[in-house]
Amino acid sequence: QSFKLLGFLDVKSVPCSRESVLYGSVGSLVVGLGHFLATSRVRRSCDFAVGGFICTMLGYWFYCRYNLAQHRIHQRMLKEGMRNKILFEGSSLDPERKQTGNEGSNS
């Protein structure tokens, strides 16, 4: 069963959204409770909790999406390398093939 945040963001299908919401709620609790213990002002602590939620959620969202993009780039590079390895294996274009003096010259 999917959970929609703000009515349109499907937390289950969007990458990094679930973790961002979870870390945001923990950040909200820490910031709000910390501010309340320091000042004993309830309304102001709730404001800080909301701000902590937004900052923590967005911070982790960008961090997670950046790592996801890096992971996809590395996957693409590995896939391309594996395809080239299969394609060029055993041919004269194979970079791992040890070339002797006779193979390089066809004159």
Q: What is the pLDDT of residues 60-84, one digit of tens each?
A: 999 999 999 999 999 999 999 888 8
Supply the pLDDT for residue 21.
87
Instruction: Print the domain residue range for 40.
Output: 15-87
Question: pTM higher than 0.85 for the full model?
Answer: no
Give a yes or no: residue 57 inside a domain.
Answer: yes
Is there a domain that residue 100 lies in? no
Tell whether 3 is covered by a domain: no
Q: Does a structural domain hold residue 43?
A: yes
For residue 23, tell me if it sits in a domain: yes
Would residue 62 count as lying in a domain? yes
- Domain presence at residue 40: yes
Q: Tally the domains of the chain.
A: 1
What pLDDT is attached to residue 71?
96
**Comparison of pLDDT for 94 and 101, the residue scoring more:** 94
Q: What's the 3-state SS for the chain?
A: CCCEECCCEECCCCCCHHHHHHHHHHHHHHHHHHHHHHHCCHHHHHHHHHHHHHHHHHHHHHHHHHHHHHHHHHHHHHHHHHHHHHHHCCCCCCCCCCCCHHHHCCC
Domain annotation covers residue 107: no
